Chains A and B, each alone.
Chain A
Amino acid sequence: MRFWYNRRLYRNDVAVSEEFTALPALAVISIGLTLFLIVFSSAEKSYDIQKESIDEYQTAGFLLDHILDPNAPIMKDKGVINYPFLNSIDGRNYLESIRRQTGNINFSISLSFKDEEHFYPSTPCDTDRIAVSQSIAVYLNEVETIPGRITIIIWWDTIG
């Protein structure tokens, strides 16, 4: 034990060392790096999802605005939809013509008033879809114009 009080404290070369001195530091760093990568990738992913979702809802909104344009034949006036016309063959043809313009986006319109709900041109597919709705007045006949809700449901056609 003689060599203990021979040395000064700050110049003490006596030490105990284990085999891998870098391991604790390495552990802390790897945990830190993993956490950082998790944070970063979540941020990127959520930003991506949000951007895509805004894009999809905007597409649905624009399509609904296009269909409900006051000059369209299915609209009787601004904010009033012509129900007899929508039910007729001309109405279906009009919706088909719009469908041809939209490329790989397929859509279906749901009109609900009183206690009924109708789909034009047909009921929607069961894949992933996006819906946007708006309140609207429905012109049933000369003496009845009642409030209702119109919803557009869009989904993307898979290729092939």
Chain B
Amino acid sequence: MDDKGLSTMYDAILFIVMISLSSIILTPIFEMQTINKLAGERYRENVAEETLHTFLVSMPSNFNYNLGGSIVDTAAETLGIDVADNNNLYHTITTLILGREQLHKTYNCIIAENLCSQFMIPISNNDSIKLNIFTEDFNEKLKDKIIKYLLGHLGDYNFNFTAYWYPIKGVHIGGILQVGDPIPDTTCYHAEETFVIPINIDFNKNLLFNISYIKNITGILEDHDIDNITKTSLSENLTALFRGFLLDGLLYNNISYPSILDIFISYGLSNIEDAIENISSKLINTAIGEGLYTLQGILGDIDNTTYYTGLFNILEKEFIDYLTNSTGINFYNLTGIITPLEDIIKPVIWNILEPIVEQLTSYIIDEFSSTSSNSIEILMDLLFNQVSTKATAVLVVWEDYI
């Protein structure tokens, strides 16, 4: 029996070391930081979505703007009238005649109307202009309202609100409204909603079946197999179909079927004509005696006999001047504006659309080669998919890390 032994504290020390190791393994449970941070992030994602939806369905308390306000102000300023003073006769008269109030409409209706009235067109590859100069005040006042609402509800966060309507997808034609700070590269929370616009872009799909391009395509598909010759012919017909539908217009039984661009431009121009006529006719219908004479005396053409024609001509001239200066092409009056305007816009749009249409045509030809049934349906769906009949509102929210 060996009585020799050695006693140390090593086993106690080993025990302590093991316990410390297990505590270190368990420490993450005490730090709830990650869990709290995740819970906070989920709340922030919901904030963006909830705030956007609540904003779009509420009504502003009182919202009014002056139609054509800035144009008339400019004309008056050149004659020495103080347009900044809110208490003088000029201000009272213009608010009476040109003031518009939007009553009982939700924000999505008001924003949709604004987007449809902007009449924005691209004039070169990087540049677009808003042609409706009479609604500048509408734009500014609406932006102020939106900023005020969002600051009140999202005070802790930075935000960027963008609402846009592009009738031809991918092309910057239509209208856009942007408020807020530019979007940073950090983590942002994003909410998006679509809503309807007041313009009716309605098509009778059945009419399209008789368009010559579609007839050619159906003819090719029925009679021949898809080989290289039919592919070229198919792609030509498809490109012509897309271009006609979106830009040039299509012929059906010798009747011109307007393109999306045609509809958009005639809608925009009719808006502008309405604006000019409303301003001028309100002038007539509002009998305020001396005030009427004073305003007309300030703004009217001295040679003309009727008040109506004087103001109408001034406003029309303003619009034509603006159009001439922005596009570099001489316009003379409102009639006969459509064709030269389209001649400027079409090449720019086709530049952007051509690659998209190429991709679509090759996709469609692949579809035709693989399945023969419902090919025309696919084609129609893709065609109408290029048109957007709704406006989109996007709210991006992020925190400011200092």
Contact = CB atoms under 8 A, between A and B. Distances in A.
Contact of B104 (A39, A77, A143): A143
Chain B CB within 10 A, most for which of A29, A35, A78, A134: A29
A25 B30 CA distance: 30
A39 B54 contact: no
A18 to B, nearest CB: 13
B26 to A, nearest CB: 5
Contacts of B13: 28
Nearest to A24: B9
A135 B395 CA distance: 15
A57 B55 CA distance: 26
A80 B15 contact: no
A28 B153 contact: no
A36 interface: yes
B58 A47 contact: no
Interface stretch (A85-93, A97-105, A117-125, A144-152): A144-152
Interface stretch (B16-24, B73-81, B356-364): B16-24
Interface of A: 21, 24-25, 28-29, 32-33, 35-36, 39-40, 42-43, 46-47, 50, 77-80, 134-137, 142-147
Contacts of B106: 145
Given A24-B9, A29-B12, A40-B26, A147 B19 contact: no
A32 B11 CA distance: 12
Given A135-B153, A137-B54, A147-B54, A36 B23 contact: yes
B26 A39 contact: yes
For the complex of A and B, list the 8 residue pairs with the smallest distance between their C-beta atoms, beginning with the closest. A25-B12, A36-B19, A143-B104, A79-B53, A43-B29, A135-B50, A32-B16, A137-B57
Interface in B21-68: 22-23, 26, 29-30, 32, 35, 46-47, 50-51, 53-55, 57-59, 61
A12 to B, nearest CB: 12
A143 B50 CA distance: 22
Contacts of A137: 53-54, 57-58
A35 B30 contact: no
A36 B22 contact: yes
Contact of B54 (A40, A47, A79): A79
B7 interface: yes
B196 interface: no
Interface residues of B, number: 31
A109 to B, nearest CB: 17
A80 B26 CA distance: 47
B329 to A, nearest CB: 46
B51 A135 contact: yes
B9 A28 contact: yes
Interface in B66-107: 103-104, 106
B15 A42 contact: no
B53 A78 contact: yes
A145 B9 CA distance: 77
Contacts of B149: 147
B23 A39 contact: yes
A135 B61 CA distance: 18
B184 to A, nearest CB: 24
Given A25-B9, A29-B15, A136-B54, 18 more contacts: A21-B7, A25-B12, A28-B16, A29-B16, A32-B15, A36-B19, A39-B23, A43-B30, A134-B46, A135-B50, A135-B153, A136-B50, A137-B58, A143-B59, A143-B104, A144-B59, A147-B54, A147-B149
A35 B57 contact: no
A50 B53 contact: no
6 contacts: A25-B11, A28-B12, A28-B15, A35-B19, A43-B30, A137-B58
Contacts of B26: 39-40, 43
A80 B57 contact: yes
Given A28-B12, A29-B15, A145 B53 contact: no
B23 A147 contact: no
B55 A42 contact: no
Contact of A134 (B30, B35, B50, B153): B50
A136 to B, nearest CB: 6
Chain A CB within 10 A, most for which of B58, B61, B103: B58
